[in-house]
Chains A and B, each alone.
Chain A
Amino acid sequence: MSSESSRSLSSSIFLRGRRRGSNNSGRRRINIWAWIIFLIGILYFFVPLFATFEFSLRMVKDQYSFEAYRVAFEDPRFYTNFGYSIMWAVITIIISSLLVVTTAYWVHWRTPRLRPVVEFITLMPFVVPAVVLTFGLIRMYGSPPIVLIGSPVLLIAGYVILSLPYMYRAVDTGLRSIDVRTLTEAALSLGAGWRTILFQVIFPNLRVAILSGVFLTFAIVMGEFTFASLLSWPAFGPYMEEIGAMRAYTPQALAVVSFLLTWASIGLLQWIGRGAGQEQIAGAH
C-alpha cells in the first residue's frame, strides 16, 4: 500500500470515527430536548387538570373534601344530560362511521383522483365556526320545504359534520395501510357482493383506524356546547355552562368527572376493539 493511500485510508477512518462520535453526542442532545418538550407537554396538560381537581376539593372551608362531588352527583339533571350526550355520541359515531368508511373506501377504490376534493370538504368544519354552521342549518331547515327544527336530526347532522375531519383522516390512514383494491378484487372474484366486502373485509381490517376516529368523535360530542345550546337539546356541554354560571366548586368537580367518564368510555371502546391491531398491521404487509 502506498503511503498516500494509507494516509487517505487512515484519514477516512478518523473521519468516520469522528462522525460517529458527533452523531452519538447529537443523538443524546436530541434525546434531552425530546424529554424536555415531553415534560413541558405533560405539565401543560396535567397542571390545569390537577389545579381544577385541587380547587374542586375546597368546597368546605379550610379542609379538602369531596363535598362538591356529592352535590354534583345529587343533581338528577347531571345524569340526564350526561346520558343524552352519550346517546348523541353513539348515534353520531354510527352514522359518521358508515358515511366516512363507505365514502373513503369508494374514493380509494374507484375515484382516487377525488381524494384531495374529499379531504378539502372534510376540513370545512375547521374553517366554518360551529355557531355559523348552526345558524346556517337553522335557516335552511327551519322553514318549508324541509323542516327539521325540533327533531334531533339537525343536531346529529351537525355533530357528524364536526366529526368529519377526525373520522375521515383516521379512516383514510387505515385505508392507505391496506391494499384496498386487491382485497376488493379478491373478494369479488370469490363471488362477494358490496355489502359482504364492506362488512366482512373492509370494516374488520379498519377496526383500529375506525376506533381512533370513534375516540375523537366521542370526546368532541361529549364536550360540545354550541350545537346543543342553540338547537335547545339537552347535553352535557350546556349543563356544565349553566352550573358554571351559578356555582363555584361544583363545575370543577363536574369537569374532573367528565374527564374521568370520557376516559373510561374510551377505555371501554379500546377494550371492545382489542386484538384488532395485529390484524391491521398484518394487512399492511
Chain B
Amino acid sequence: MAFLEIRNVSKAFGENWAVSDFNLQVEKGELISFLGPSGCGKTTTLRIVAGFEQPSSGSIIVDGEDITFKAPNQRKIGMVFQSYALFPNMTVAGNIGFGLKVNKWAKEDINKRVADLLELIHMPELGPRYPYQLSGGQQQRVALARALALEPALLLLDEPLSALDAKIRVSLRAEIRDIQQNLGITAIYVTHDQEEALSLSDRVVVMNVGRMDQVGPPFEIYNFPKTEFVAQFVGTLNAVQVEVVNPENQTLLLDGQQIQAQSGIEGMRAGEKVMIAIRPERFSFVSEGKKANVLDGTIENITFLGSIVRILVNIGSFSFNMDTFNNPYLELPKIGDKHQITFSRQAVLVLNNGSQS
C-alpha cells in the first residue's frame, strides 16, 4: 500500500473546478513534484493534502489513515511556504522550536533538536538572529528546519524557491533534495519551474487545468510526453501537424516531404492528420552516413544561448528550432543558407487528441 494516496480528489470554487478527479499514490521516501502553469490546480491539491482546503469530493489517505477531514494542526504534515512564513517576532531558534514548544517538548529536548536542525541547515551560529536579519535563502532554510522539527510524516513544499535568485535556487534545491533523501522523508514539491521539477524529483506530476496530464520519472516526462500539453510545457519543442501516408511503415508527410516515425500511428488511416513533436536537440545537419529523415531547409535565425546555440530552420511553411552544443570552434551557418537537416525516427513523438498513440 502506498504511503500517501490521493483518491479521486476534486475541488470546486463556485462554478470553477480547480482540481478534477485527481488520483495519485506516493511511496514512502519519495519526492514528487507537481509541475504546471499558474492556475493548474497544483497548489490547491497541495493545500487539500495539508488540510487548508476541503475537497469537494475524494479522500486523502496517509499511512492507511483517512485524514480528509482532520484539522490541519492534527495531521503531522510539515509545510514550507513560498514566502517563508517565518514568525517575525521570534528568533531563528524560536521559529524552529515553535512546533516543539506547541507539542510540549521538554526545554532541554527542544534546545537539542533546534541545535541539530541548525547544524543540518548549516546555520549553527544564527539561532539568536531574527528573520529580518537573514537573507532570503537563509530564511527558507530556517523554514525548512522548522517544518522538519517535528519529524512530520509528510513534507509539503509550495514553490519554496520562487522568491530567490537563480544561483541560490540551484544550490538550495540540491540541499533540499539531500536533506529529503538523508531523512527518507516523503515529500510533495509544487513548482512551475520545469528544471527544478526535473532535477529534484523521483516522479513528476504534470498538471493542466485541474487535471493530471502525465505522471512519471523526469526522464520519461521529458523524453516521452504523452500529451501535447506535456510536450509543450516541459522543455522546448517543435510541434507540427502532419498527414499519415502509410501507417504500416510509419510514414508521414510534412509539408510535402516524407518522414518516418518509430511508432505511434498504428491503426490510423492514410490521409488522417496527426500532431507530432520533435525536440530541438534531436535535429542535426546532415553529414556522413545514412539518416532516416532528411529535410531541406533554410536558416532563418541564429540565437546564442550560452551552452547551446539555437538555430531556426525554415522547412516549407514550418519553422523548427534546432539546438546544437556550443564550442569555440563551431562553424555556424549563415542566415539564408540552404541546409539539409536530419533526425532519427525515434525523435518523432506522435501526439494525438491529447494522448500519445
Contact = CB atoms under 8 A, between A and B. Distances in A.
B81 A186 contact: yes
Contact of B79 (A189, A278, A281, A285): A189
Contacts of B73: 188-193
B318 interface: no
Interface string A157-188: 00000000000000000000011001101111
A105 B10 CA distance: 29
B226 interface: no
Interface residues of B, number: 31
Interface string B85-119: 11111000000001100110000000000000000
Contact of B78 (A182, A187, A189, A279): A189
A190 B88 contact: no
A182 B83 contact: yes
A182 B81 contact: yes
A273 to B, nearest CB: 12
Interface in B126-159: 130-132, 143, 146-147, 149-150
B303 interface: no
A133 B87 CA distance: 41
A81 to B, nearest CB: 38
B285 interface: no
A285 B149 CA distance: 24
A112 to B, nearest CB: 14
Interface of B: 50-52, 71-79, 81, 83, 85-89, 98-99, 102-103, 130-132, 143, 146-147, 149-150
A100 B86 CA distance: 24
Contact of B147 (A189, A196, A200, A201): A189
Contact of B132 (A187, A190, A200, A285): A285
B99 A191 contact: yes
A interface SS class: helix
Nearest to A283: B88
Nearest to B139: A285
A182 to B, nearest CB: 4
Contacts of B132: 278-279, 281-282, 285
Given A278-B132, A279-B130, A190 B85 contact: no
Contact of B102 (A182, A192, A205, A207): A192
Contacts of B87: 183, 186-187, 200-201, 205
A280 B89 CA distance: 8
A200 B74 CA distance: 19
Nearest to B88: A283
Contacts of B52: 185, 188
A186 B51 CA distance: 12
A190 B90 CA distance: 15
A21 interface: no
B102 A196 contact: yes
Max chain B Cβ within 10 angstroms of own Cβ: one of A179, A189, A207: A189
A204 interface: yes
A185 B50 contact: yes
Chain A's interface size range is 20 to 34
A125 B78 CA distance: 45
A193 B104 CA distance: 13
A183 B147 CA distance: 13
B73 to A, nearest CB: 5
Given A279-B89, A282-B132, A283-B89, A191 B81 contact: no
Contact of A185 (B79, B98, B149): B79
A279 B88 contact: yes
Contacts of A281: 132
Nearest to A201: B87
Nearest to B136: A285
B148 to A, nearest CB: 11
Contacts of A279: 88-89, 130, 132
Contacts of B150: 190-191
A189 to B, nearest CB: 4
Contact of A282 (B76, B78, B79, B88): B88
17 contacts: A183-B85, A185-B85, A186-B79, A187-B87, A188-B72, A189-B77, A190-B98, A191-B102, A196-B102, A200-B98, A205-B87, A278-B132, A279-B88, A279-B130, A279-B132, A281-B132, A282-B130
Closest 7 CB pairs of A and B: A282-B132, A190-B99, A283-B88, A186-B85, A204-B89, A189-B79, A182-B85
A204 B95 CA distance: 14
